Amino acid sequence: MDTRQWRDTIAAAQDGDRRALDELVEGWLPLVYNIVGRALNGHADVDDVVQETMLRAVDNLGSLRDPDSFRSWLVAIAMRQIRDRARRRTPAPLDESATGGAADFAELTVLRLQLEGQRREVAEAVRWLDDEDRQLLSLWWLEVAGELTRRELAAAVGISRQHAAVRVQRMKERLETSRGIVRALDGACPGLRELTARWNGRPDSVWRKRLARHIRGCGYCGDTRESVVPPERLLVGIALVPVPVGFTLSLALGGKTAAAATATVASVSWSAKVMSALTQPVVAATAGATIVAGGAYVVTQTPDAPPPRVAVSPTAASTHRPPPVVDTPSVSPSPSPSPSPSPSVTPTRTARYGSVVDAVDRAPDPDTPPAALPHRPETGVTSTGGAHAVMNHRGDSVTLTGKGYVLVRWQISPQYRAGGLVMPSWTGLRGELFHVASGGGRRMDDPVSATDSTATGMGSATIGYTVLPAGTQQMWQNEYFYLDGSVTLTVNERGADYGLSVFPSSWDAAEKDITTGPDQGVKRYGLVRDTGKDDTPVPQYLTRSTPADAATVAQESRVSAP
C-alpha cells in the first residue's frame, strides 16, 4: 500500500472530513490486522489490539505532520500496542487453546490465501517461533510481500537498519529450522513417530529444540528430496490475509468519527465476539446503519448476500448415485463390524437424510469444471484438536462441533508402509454430516511422477501401493464435509500408513479450492457432491453409535434422521 496514493485522503481526514477518515481506517485495517494477527498468531487478543491501534491512530492523526510517513507511523503504533500487551500479561507462551476454537493465524493464512507446497510450509512454521521472532516476522513477511520497506520495519521495531538486518537474519534461521520440523512432521519417519508420541501437538520452544536435534541426526528426516526455496522468494507479492466477516471497529472518539471494515471471509470467533458486543445496551446496530451510543459511532457493513445458487446436480464425472433400493450395508473390511440400523429406502427425489452413501466414482477428465457448491448455513465449527489437528497414529481422534465446513487433508505414506488401508471412521454423530466436495487439485490415485509411470499418490510399483477396501470411495487430497451437530473422526490405521490433518474451514475456502486448485501441479478441478438437499451423500464409515473400536464401523452404515 503506497502512502502517496492516500495523501489527499489523509489530509482531508486531518481536516475533519468524516468520510475520508472512514475510508482511511477501512483501507488500512487489513495491514494492521495482518501485523497484529501474525505477531499474536490469531490469539483471542488480536481484535482488541487491532481496535486499540486504530483508535490511537485516529485519535492522534492530527499530530502527523508528513502524510507520506503515515504507513510507518501506523505500523509503529501497532507494534507498540503488541509490546504493551506483552508487558501487561504474565510472560508465558501463547496458549493456542485461548483462541476459543478459532483457526490460528497460520491456518487462516493457509486457508484464506489457499497456500500450497512450500508457501504453506512457511506459514505453518510460524507456529514454532517465539513471541519476539513472531513479532519481527509479522513485519518482515509484509516487507518481502511489498507492503513495507526495511526502513519502516526498523523504525517500527525501534532499531537501526543495520541491527534490523542482523535480527531478521537470526529470525530467518529459526524459521528455516521450523520449516524443517513442519516438513518432517508431514513425513513418516518411525523415529519421529516414537519421539512425538509424548507430544501434546502444541508447538513450543522446548519441542522445537527436541525435534530439531532429531532432524539434524536423522538421515530420513534430513533427506530433502525437494529443493528448498528461500522464504523471501515464496512470499514476494503474496496478498494480505482478508479481515474476517463481522470484524467491527467501535471507536469512541467523543463525537469525532469512527469506522468499521468488513471483509469477505468468515471467522466464527470474531463474529461471535462482535455480535456479543453489539447486543449490549450501550451499543446497538443494524446492517448498514450508523448509530450514536454513549459517544461512540459504530458502522457495520454486512457483506452483500451471495447470489442465489441453484442446487445443481454434480457433474457427470461425480456419478452421484440415487438412493439405494436395498438396505443391506456392505460388508466391512474391519473385524467384527457393527452396522447401524438400515431403514428401508424407496428411490425418490427427496431421499431421507443418510440413505445415500458415498459411491465409488470415476475421476473426472482433467480440468473439468465442477458443479456449483451450494452454500449451506455456517456459524462455524470448533475442534478438540484446535485449528489444525494432525492425526498420524491408530486411535487418534478429534471431535468436531458446530455448523459449517470441515476440511480433511490426506497424507498417504506408502514409502514407509504400503498394503491394505483401514479407513478412518465418523462415530457418535449427533445431527447431520454430509460429504460435500473434494479438492486439493488431485485425487490420490493421480500420477505424481514424470519419470515413473507407475507412481501415484497411493504408491508405485517399486515401493508398493496403499490399497483401499473394496467398494471404498477413492479420496482426493482435500475432502470437504458439512457438519450440523457433532461427530468424532478417528484414525484406524492398520497395515498401510496414513495421516489426516483436520481443519475447521468455510464455504469460501472450499469453493476456491475446488474451482481453482493449487497454482502448481493442477491435475483437474475439484468435484462437488452436494446437491443442497438431504440426498447429498453421507461419508462411508459413518455411524451414530460409539463403538469401543472405531474400526468396526460398517462401510455403508445408514444414519437415519436425528
Q: Are 417 and 466 in contact (CB under 8 A)?
A: no
Residues 252 and 298: their CA atoms lie apart, in Å, by 9
Q: Which residues contact 533 (CB under 8 A, 6 or more apart)?
A: 311, 350
What pLDDT, in 10s, does the model give residues 144-165? 877 788 888 988 888 888 898 9
Predicted confidence at residue 198, as pLDDT, reads 81
Residues 62 and 65: their CA atoms lie apart, in Å, by 8
What pLDDT, in 10s, does the model give residues 247-262? 666 554 433 443 433 3
Q: Are 125 and 179 in contact (CB under 8 A)?
A: yes
Predicted confidence at residue 341, as pLDDT, reads 36
Predicted confidence at residue 321, as pLDDT, reads 36
Q: Are 480 and 510 in contact (CB under 8 A)?
A: yes
- Bridge partners, residue 290, by sequence: 299
> Which amino acid is residue 547, in one-letter code?
P
Q: Which residues contact 406 (CB under 8 A, 6 or more apart)?
A: 381, 400, 480, 481, 482, 483, 502, 503, 504, 505
Predicted confidence at residue 106, as pLDDT, reads 66
Predicted confidence at residue 4, as pLDDT, reads 62
Task: For residue 537, give the nearest of 522, 518, 559 by alpha carbon.
Answer: 559
Residues 317 and 419: their CA atoms lie apart, in Å, by 28
The pTM (predicted TM-score) of the whole model is 0.45
Residues 475 and 461: their CA atoms lie apart, in Å, by 20
Residues 333 and 468: their CA atoms lie apart, in Å, by 10
Q: Which residues contact 534 (CB under 8 A, 6 or more apart)?
A: 350, 351, 352, 353
Q: Check the CA dihedral 443-316-426-96 and report its sign.
A: positive
Query: For the chain, which ranges sit under pLDDT 70?
Result: 1-5, 42-44, 86-104, 106-116, 188, 222-227, 236-239, 244-350, 517-524, 561-562
Residues 244 and 111: their CA atoms lie apart, in Å, by 12
Residues 199 and 185: their CA atoms lie apart, in Å, by 12
Show the CA angle centred on residue 501, arms to residues 99 and 471, nearest 5°.
140
Q: What are phi and psi of 427, to 5 degrees?
A: -130, 165
Task: For residue 286, give the nearest of 298, 294, 271, 273 by alpha carbon.
Answer: 298
Q: What are phi and psi of 240, to 5 degrees?
A: -70, 145
Predicted confidence at residue 225, as pLDDT, reads 52
Task: For residue 542, give the nearest of 343, 349, 356 by alpha carbon.
Answer: 356
Give the strand pairing for 464-467 and 419-420. parallel
DSSP state of 321: P
Predicted confidence at residue 122, as pLDDT, reads 81
Secondary structure (DSSP) of 423-490: PPEEEEEEEEEEEEEEEEEEETTSB--SS-TT-BTTEETTTEEEEPPTTPPPPEEEEEEEEEEEEEEE
Task: For residue 102, give the nearest of 90, 111, 113 by alpha carbon.
Answer: 111
Number of H helices, E strands in the chain: 14, 13
Predicted confidence at residue 326, as pLDDT, reads 31
Q: Are 176 and 144 in contact (CB under 8 A)?
A: no
